[in-house]
Chain A
Amino acid sequence: MSPLRIHVEGIGLWSKQLGNFAALQALLGGNAPEPPSPKPVATTLPPNERRRAPESVLLAAEVAGQAVAMSGHTADSLTCVFSSSHGDQAITDYMCATLASAPKELSPIRFHNSVHNAPAGYWTIATGCHEPSTAVCAQRMSFGAGLLEAISHALADRCPVLLVCSDIAGVFPLVEETGCTHSFGCALVLTPDLSESTLASLDVTLAPIQGLADDALPEPLAGWRAANASAEALPLLAVLARGHGHCELKAAASLGLRIELRAAASRQDHAPSRTAEQVA
C-alpha cells in the first residue's frame, strides 16, 4: 500500500522545560532555551475559563492554541482529536479520594471536568467550534493512535484536523500506577492538501511491529519521554524540528507507524512566527 501523505501546518508544544516548538528547535540546535512560566497560559480560553479550568485543560488548550496560531487556520474550522493516556490525574485522584471518604460531597464541577473529553469540550466552547471533536486514548500509544485517528479523519473527509496529545503530571498515590511524573503536551494541525502554509509533508506507513519501536532519542528527550506517555510524540517532533529524517511510532501494541519527512514544500514563507527556515 502506498504511504498516507499528510501535511503539517502548525506545531504546538509545552512542558516545564520547553514553552513551544521553537524551544525544542533551539535545544536540538545546541542552545539552552528559557523555561516557560510554571503553568501553561492557554490564552485561547477566555480569562474566567482560564482561572477555573483544570490543569489538563490548560495544557491541552495551550498547545492547541500554539499550533492553530502557527497554521493560520481559524480554530472553529478544525475537526479536533484530543488524546491523553490518563486524562486529568489530579481530578481522578480527587474523585477517588472523595468517593472513599464522603461520596455525597463530590463536587459537581469536578465531576463534569473529570470526563476524558473535558479538554475537547472547553476548547470547542472557547473557540465556537461546531466541527466533530473527539477524545481518545491508547495508554503508551496514545500519541501514535491519536495521530492515526487524526490522519484518517483528515484524509477520509478531506478536512484540516487539530491533533492534541497531552498528559499532566500525576499525584500520589495514582502516579505510582501511571508513571507519569512530568507534564507534556503537543499539538499538530494536519491537512490533506499541500498549501502555502505547509511546514512539512509526512509519508506515513502502517506496518506490523513487535516489541519496541526503533526510535532512539538523545537525552534529555529520552528521559522526558519515559516520564510521560504523551511525550512518545518526541521522535516525530524531533524530526519536524530538524526538518529531515524519519521515525517510528507505535499506534497499537502490534502496529507501527513509520513516518518519513519529505523535502519541505517549495514555497516562500514570510511569516516569521512560523519558523519555517528553522524547520527546513
Chain B
Amino acid sequence: MPDPMTPLAVTAYTATSAIGHGLAAQFDALQAARSGLRPNDFSSAPLDCWIGRVAGVEDAPLPADLSVWECRNNRLAWLGLNQDGFLDRVRAARGRYGAHRIALMLGTSTASIGETEAAYRRLDANGGFPADMRRPAIHAPHSLAAFVTAALELEGPCLTISTACSSSAKVFANAERLIRLGLVDAAVVGGVDTLCDSVLFGFNALELVSPQPCRPFDAARNGISIGEAAGFALLQRVDAAPTAPRLLGYGEASDAHHMSTPHPDGLGAELALRDTLARAGIDADRVDYINLHGTASQKNDEVEAALVSRAFPARTRGSSTKGFTGHTLGAAGIIEATIALQAIEHGLIPGNLGGATPDAGCGPQFAWTNEQQRVDVALSNSFGFGGNNACLAFARAEFAA
C-alpha cells in the first residue's frame, strides 16, 4: 500500500451538465432533486432512450480566434471553462507560475468523434471526407486537450487520458504525480464528453441502455442513460490556498477480468478504494459521503453495492447522481468529483435519484433522498470498460487525517 500523500488544494472547480451550466445550477438541481434527463432528441437515427443533454451548446460557437477547433465537444469544453470564473483562476495561476509550469490533464472517452461520424455521413463521390471536414486535429482523440491547451495558453505537460468511464477521475492522479515530483506547480484537470452516435448506439448494442430514465441501485433498474458534460478543476500546493478544499487521496487498479463487465467481486474497485484510503491516510470509517459510480447497469450496481456494504460503516452515506446527469462517460469522474466537493462545501448529501425501490443488495449507507449533514471527507468512484477503476478522496481544509 502507498504511503499517505501530501494533500493538494483544489483552488477552483466547475461543472456543466444536463442539470445546468456552472456550480450554482448544479447545486440547485441537486437540492431540488431535479433530473436533467429528457427523451432522446439527439441521435442521427431514432433510439428509444433518455439522455442528459446540455442546453445551449448549439448556440455557443467558439470565439473567432479558436474557431479552427469547432466541434460539439470543444464547444462544450469552452462553455464549461467559462463558468464559475474558472478562466480567470487559470489566468492568475499562469501569471504566478508561468505557462510552462502548469500541466493540463484531461479525460475523454470519445473526444470529437461526433465530427468524424458526421464526415462519414457525407462522404464525397470518391468515398473521401468532404472538403470542410478535412480537419486532422479534430479527427483525433487528443482534440479536446489540444483545444483546451490553446484556449488556456498553457505550455506545460499536456495529456489526454482515455480509459473510458474512469478517464476524468484518473487525471487527478496524473496531476498529483507531476506536482509531487516538482515538474509543475499547478495542474488543470478535468474532462469533457459529448453525446454522439458511437456511444448511444454502442451501449445500445451491448443492451446497456434503458428505455426509461436510469434508476441507479433500483431493484428494477434496466440500464444507463447517457449524458454529456464538461468539468474542470485547478490543483495547486496547499500553501498557495490554505483554506481551499483538498484532494486527500486517489487510487487506481485494474480488474483483469473482462472488457465490458466488472469483476464479480469488485476486486479492482476495492483495490482502488484501499489505495485511496492509504494515500489519504484514513480508515473507511472517516468517510462521510461516497459519490458512487452507480450507472444503473445490472452488474455495476450489484458489485458496487456489495463493496459499499462490506467496506463502510452504516453512518457513511452513499448515492449515485447518474439519475441527475445521466452517465457522462469520460466526464463522469470530474462531474462527480465536483458533486463530492459541493457535498463538503454545502453539507448536502444528494439523494440517489431514480432509486424508488432499493435493490436488496443495498445497505444502510444509501441516501435515497437528500440529507443535510456536515461532510468532512467525500469519495468518488469511477469505473470504466477494460476493468479500469479509480477512486478519489476530497476533504475540507480543516480536516486532519
Which one of A152-160, A233-241, A261-269 is at the B interface? A152-160
Given A99-B44, A177-B134, A114:B160 Cβ within 8 A: no
> CB within 8 Å of A: which of B94-124?
99-100, 109, 113, 116-117, 119-121, 123
Indicate which residue in A97, A113, A116, A179 contacts B162 across the interface (CB closer than 8 Å). Answer: A116
- Asked if B42 is at the interface (CB within 8 A of a chain A CB), the reply is no
In the complex, per-residue mask of B221-234: 1 if CB is within 8 Å of any chain A CB, else 0:
00000000000000
- A151 to chain B: closest CB distance in Å? 9
User: Are the C-beta atoms of A156 and B259 separated by less than 8 Å?
Assistant: no
> CB within 8 Å of A: which of B259-288?
259-260, 267-268, 271
User: Are the C-beta atoms of B197 and A145 separated by less than 8 Å?
Assistant: no
Q: Please, which residues of chain A bring their CB within 8 A of the CB of B10?
A: none
In the complex, per-residue mask of A107-141: 1 if CB is within 8 Å of any chain B CB, else 0:
11001111111101110110111111111111101
- Asked if B85 is at the interface (CB within 8 A of a chain A CB), the reply is no
Of B100, B155, B202, chain A has the most CB atoms within 10 Å of the CB of B202
Indicate which residue in A1, A85, A135, A157 contacts B177 across the interface (CB closer than 8 Å). Answer: A157
User: Are the C-beta atoms of B158 and A255 separated by less than 8 Å?
Assistant: yes
- A28 to chain B: closest CB distance in Å? 30
| Nearest-CB residue, chain B, relative to A95 | B198
User: Are the C-beta atoms of A145 and B205 separated by less than 8 Å?
Assistant: no
User: Are the C-beta atoms of A179 and B116 separated by less than 8 Å?
Assistant: no
Given the complex of chains A and B, what is the CA–CA distance between A31 and B76 in angstroms?
Answer: 53
- Asked if A32 is at the interface (CB within 8 A of a chain B CB), the reply is no
> CB within 8 Å of A: which of B118-143?
119-121, 123, 127-129, 134-137, 139-142
- A87 to chain B: closest CB distance in Å? 6
Q: Please, which residues of chain B bring their CB within 8 A of the CB of A125?
A: 255-259, 387
Given the complex of chains A and B, what is the CA–CA distance between A239 and B145 in angstroms?
Answer: 30
We find that the number of chain A residues with CB closer than 8 angstroms to chain B is: 68
Indicate which residue in B173, B205, B257 contacts A108 across the interface (CB closer than 8 Å). Answer: B205
- A57 to chain B: closest CB distance in Å? 10
User: Are the C-beta atoms of A152 and B183 separated by less than 8 Å?
Assistant: yes
Q: Please, which residues of chain B bring their CB within 8 A of the CB of A208?
A: 100, 155
Q: Please, which residues of chain A bring their CB within 8 A of the CB of B127?
A: 172-173
Q: Please, which residues of chain B bring their CB within 8 A of the CB of A120?
A: 163, 254, 386, 388
Which one of A38-46, A246-254, A272-280 is at the B interface? A246-254
User: Are the C-beta atoms of A111 and B205 separated by less than 8 Å?
Assistant: yes
Q: Please, which residues of chain A bring their CB within 8 A of the CB of B386?
A: 115, 117-118, 120-122, 124, 133, 135
User: Are the C-beta atoms of B119 and A255 separated by less than 8 Å?
Assistant: no
Indicate which residue in B43, B100, B158, B388 contacts A103 across the interface (CB closer than 8 Å). Answer: B43
| Nearest-CB residue, chain A, relative to B104 | A252
User: Are the C-beta atoms of B123 and A132 separated by less than 8 Å?
Assistant: no
- A148 to chain B: closest CB distance in Å? 6
User: Are the C-beta atoms of B198 and A99 separated by less than 8 Å?
Assistant: yes
User: Are the C-beta atoms of A86 and B128 separated by less than 8 Å?
Assistant: no
- B370 to chain A: closest CB distance in Å? 34
Q: Please, which residues of chain B bring their CB within 8 A of the CB of A4?
A: 181
- Asked if B376 is at the interface (CB within 8 A of a chain A CB), the reply is no
- Asked if B382 is at the interface (CB within 8 A of a chain A CB), the reply is no
Given the complex of chains A and B, what is the CA–CA distance between A124 and B2 in angstroms?
Answer: 21
User: Are the C-beta atoms of B260 and A152 separated by less than 8 Å?
Assistant: no
Of A96, A127, A178, chain B has the most CB atoms within 10 Å of the CB of A96
A-contacting residues of B (Cβ < 8 Å)?
2, 43-45, 47, 99-100, 109, 113, 116-117, 119-121, 123, 127-129, 134-137, 139-142, 145-146, 149, 155-164, 170, 173-174, 176-178, 180-183, 197-198, 201-207, 252-260, 267-268, 271, 384-388
Known: A124-B254, A152-B183. 9 other contacts (CB 8 A): A100-B121, A103-B43, A106-B204, A115-B162, A115-B386, A133-B252, A133-B254, A136-B162, A155-B181
B-contacting residues of A (Cβ < 8 Å)?
1, 4, 76, 85-87, 92, 95-97, 99-100, 103-104, 106-108, 111-118, 120-122, 124-125, 127-139, 141-142, 145-146, 148-149, 152-153, 155-157, 172-174, 176-179, 206, 208, 251-255
